Every structure is written in C-alpha cells, then in structure tokens.
Chains A and B, each alone.
Chain A
C-alpha cells in the first residue's frame, strides 16, 4: 500500500459553479471552480457541504469525473429520488452558486498516472463517473465496460464514442444495456454476465487492474464474475454507489 496516498486539503473550501451540463434525464455534471485546487488522482472523490440560510448543513461524497487540472473539477451527479443533496446539485444549482468542498479524498480506488498496468474499468449506472476521470486521464491501455439501463440513461455517450474511435486505440469502450438497447444493437438487453466480461477482460499475463464502481448489487456481481473467470482478487478494486449516496 502506497503510504503516499494523495491527500487533499482537509479544510472546507468554497466551490463556485462555473457551468452545468445535463448528462441524462436525472444526471448532471457541475463544473466547479476552486481557488488553489491542485488537481486530483483519477478515482478520487470530494466531500460536498451544503448550508441552508439557517445554518443547517448536509454532507455527501461525490466522485470527480474530470481529468485532473488545477483550479477546476467536475462532479457528475445522479439525482436520488428522496435524496437531500443530489436533487439540489442536479436540479437547483446554477452557475455562480456556491457551496463547499473538501478534498480530493481517497487513496485506494485510484489509478495513478505512473501505473503502467492496463486497466479494466467496469461501471454500473452513475458508477461510471470516477471511471470517466480515469478514461479522460488515461495514459495506458484501458478498457471500459459500461452497464446502463438504456441509451437515454447513459452518461458521457458522445464523448465516449469519440474516445473509442480515437486513432491511438488507447481506450476501448463497450456498453451493456440492461433494459433497453439502442436500435440495431447486436445484443438483447441483459445484465452484465460472463460473456460480456469475457469479451473485455485482459489476458491473465497482462497483470491488469480492475476498477469496479456502481450500485452494490452490480459491484458484487461484477467482482464475483471477474474472480470466477480468473482475475486476481487482489487486483480488483471496488467502490459502491448506493441510493443513500443521495
């Protein structure tokens, strides 16, 4: 374990919404300007603190979806139906609004730029957000398997298509649609299964590291399947998004 985990500033800092992008019906990316922000390691998250006029506060953690740059970061948030913070971030916040963040945080579910191993990135639903940071910052071969309910729920669709078509072939992208597939899609809608994983898994001698992020059931299934088909459990890193992430 690297003792040199990248630790963020642990003081709360004001973040100003610079822009907002709708990613899906209930998901949005907020672009945040933060003075003195020095960047992050792909996979890390930030704590968000919202403060109501009467002083009441609410806190949640959100993964960073952007590539590391100084002074700016992006979080991509899926609204949770009965959530407290996510509906604000998805439906209410506008450019110029402020809240506080703390971070970047997390020293395990991270892909360091100097890690030479190829990566298998497996995302379920909004769990693709931290993987998107890894895709955007990837300097080494990466394969993204993205499981999502339907094309209209899928995040980052256009950008992932462009990335996958890039001439360098650095990042391969595969979608699995669980409820509704696009017209002409070769596979019927289905849950992530061994067949889908077998198409993207790296050969055993590639010493690949797998990052799995999504709702608990998805992460359990994907990690179990990876172990079943021979992936070293020690090289599978998981992070879970649940409905309580709201």
Chain B
C-alpha cells in the first residue's frame, strides 16, 4: 500500500495489514500497468445460507449453470441490468468535479482533466447486485481510491460516498483501501455511460453493487458511520454478498 498519511493513533492501520488474506470471497484480476500489485483469486470459505425448509416446488427443475464463484442466492446474468432510485443525472464534464472531504473540513478536488490524468488501474471483477443478479468478469478502468487518498491526512474510520442527484452510501474506510475500490470511468474500454453511473462511479466489487455509487461527486471521510440512502431504507449497512447481507436483519 503506502502513500497514506495516517495519524499515529489511527485504528485502521492494524486492519489494513490483514487485507489480501481476509478479503477473499470475490475473485478479482487487477492488471496494473505499473505492475505494482495485483489481487489474486483468493478462495474463501463460503458460509451456507440459513437452514433449508422442506418446501419442494412441484414441477420446477431449474436450469443449472456453472455457479462456481456465485454468492448465495444469486444468479448469473450476461446482461448489465440497471438499478437506480430516480432519474439519471446528466453532468457535463466541464462542470464535473470530484472531491475528497476530511473530518476536519480539508478538501481535495479534481476537475475532469485533472482526474483523468491520474494513474489508472484496469480491474476485471465480478459484481453482485442485491436484486440477485451477478455479472462475471466485468472490465473497468479507473483511479484507485488509494490514489485519491494518498495525500490526505485523516483519522476517519468511515466514508460516505455522495453522488450527483443526491444518492449516498456508506463504508468503513478500510473497505475502500488497499486496491479494493476505484473511481471508474471506463467500462469495457468505452466511456462509462450515464445510465451506468458515468462520468464516473465508485466500484467496490466485494460489496453488493448498490455500494458502488453511480455519478460519484465526493468521498466524505468521517469519524462516525452514517448510513446512506439504501442503508436507511431497509438494506444492510455493510452488504457483503458472501454473507448474504441484503437487509437490516440479515
């Protein structure tokens, strides 16, 4: 990792060292031009769902596919479905800005030309939507959140992502660090379409995809956790697909 300026008493530093072994659960192939680091397919024990009830559905056979790498309760699709809570915001690149705001009010911003001049990663990842579809081997280009936070001084433990249009979603900061999260602006080699979150969206593939906020506008570093849009509307605060954390009570 490196590059972070963390205060000496920052409680996340201990947790960071565990990444790469603790992360497992999604397979990810990161192709960094610099060759600086790369994820590997970490096999993880996958917890079983809750105990099964004995309700067999007469006349249902099902169409089995290769469900390796599929979290519990998900099915595989080759489409790229769209989910959002409201209209798609249209943001001109000349007015677009990305900000990182710290708990003390410190603010770093990037215009579109500044943002796209940053080093990028290519990430090929599986994505898992809480509406039960999973899409394998999606291909993105974006700026690692590590890069955006490299010169940021913070004691924050949590992050709220803010989107154009008002959407929010929350994370423990450690979930966005160490090669786990990007601000992506290309999908399949093309500029990211507005309907999929363009100009730029967060990409956090190890959590349910509502956490990968579309139309990203700012990352707000916080000392306390603040549930976002879906997290206050009944969806799980953390959203790990491998533990099937869909709703509050999961």
Tell me the A residues contacting B by CB distance below 8 Å: 1-3, 5-7, 10-12, 14, 47, 50-53, 55-61, 84, 88, 92-94, 97-100, 105-109, 216, 219-220, 223-224, 226-227, 233-234, 236-238, 240, 242-244
Tell me the B residues contacting A by CB distance below 8 Å: 50, 52-53, 55-64, 73-75, 77, 79, 81-89, 131-133, 165-166, 195, 229-230, 232-234, 247-250
- In the complex, A176→B62 CA distance in Å? 36
**Which of chain B's residues have a CB closer than 8 A to the CB of A59?**
73-75, 132
Contact A97 B57 (CB under 8 A): yes
Contact B55 A99 (CB under 8 A): yes
Contact B57 A243 (CB under 8 A): no
* Top-9 shortest CB links A-B: A223-B87, A107-B233, A107-B234, A5-B234, A216-B82, A244-B77, A99-B57, A92-B59, A50-B57
- In the complex, A5→B236 CA distance in Å? 13
Determine which of B55, B58, B79, B86 lies in contact with A243 in the assembled complex, contact meaning CB atoms within 8 Å. Answer: B79
- Closest Cβ of chain B to A175, distance in Å, is 23
Determine which of B50, B61, B87, B133 lies in contact with A52 in the assembled complex, contact meaning CB atoms within 8 Å. Answer: B61
Contact B195 A216 (CB under 8 A): yes
**Interface of chain A, main secondary structure:** mixed
Determine which of A6, A14, A47 lies in contact with B53 in the assembled complex, contact meaning CB atoms within 8 Å. Answer: A14
Contact A7 B247 (CB under 8 A): yes
Contact B86 A238 (CB under 8 A): yes
Contact B57 A234 (CB under 8 A): no
**Which of chain B's residues have a CB closer than 8 A to the CB of A7?**
234, 247-249
Determine which of A52, A55, A105 lies in contact with B52 in the assembled complex, contact meaning CB atoms within 8 Å. Answer: A55
Contact B62 A3 (CB under 8 A): no
Determine which of A5, A14, A52, A242 lies in contact with B62 in the assembled complex, contact meaning CB atoms within 8 Å. Answer: A52
* Residue among B79, B131, B249 facing the most chain A CB atoms (10 A cut-off): B131
Beta-carbon nearest neighbor of A226 in chain B = B87
**Which of chain A's residues have a CB closer than 8 A to the CB of B249?**
7, 10
**Which of chain B's residues have a CB closer than 8 A to the CB of A57?**
62
Beta-carbon nearest neighbor of A97 in chain B = B58
**Which of chain B's residues have a CB closer than 8 A to the CB of A60?**
75, 132
- Closest Cβ of chain B to A244, distance in Å, is 4
**Which of chain A's residues have a CB closer than 8 A to the CB of B166?**
234
Beta-carbon nearest neighbor of A7 in chain B = B234
- Closest Cβ of chain B to A7, distance in Å, is 5
- In the complex, A106→B85 CA distance in Å? 11
Contact A84 B81 (CB under 8 A): no
- In the complex, A92→B60 CA distance in Å? 8
- Closest Cβ of chain A to B104, distance in Å, is 27
Beta-carbon nearest neighbor of A233 in chain B = B87
- Closest Cβ of chain B to A19, distance in Å, is 16
**Which of chain A's residues have a CB closer than 8 A to the CB of B52?**
51, 55
Beta-carbon nearest neighbor of B73 in chain A = A59
**Which of chain A's residues have a CB closer than 8 A to the CB of B64?**
56
- Closest Cβ of chain B to A67, distance in Å, is 21
**Which of chain A's residues have a CB closer than 8 A to the CB of B56?**
51-53
**Which of chain A's residues have a CB closer than 8 A to the CB of B60?**
50-52, 58, 88, 92, 99
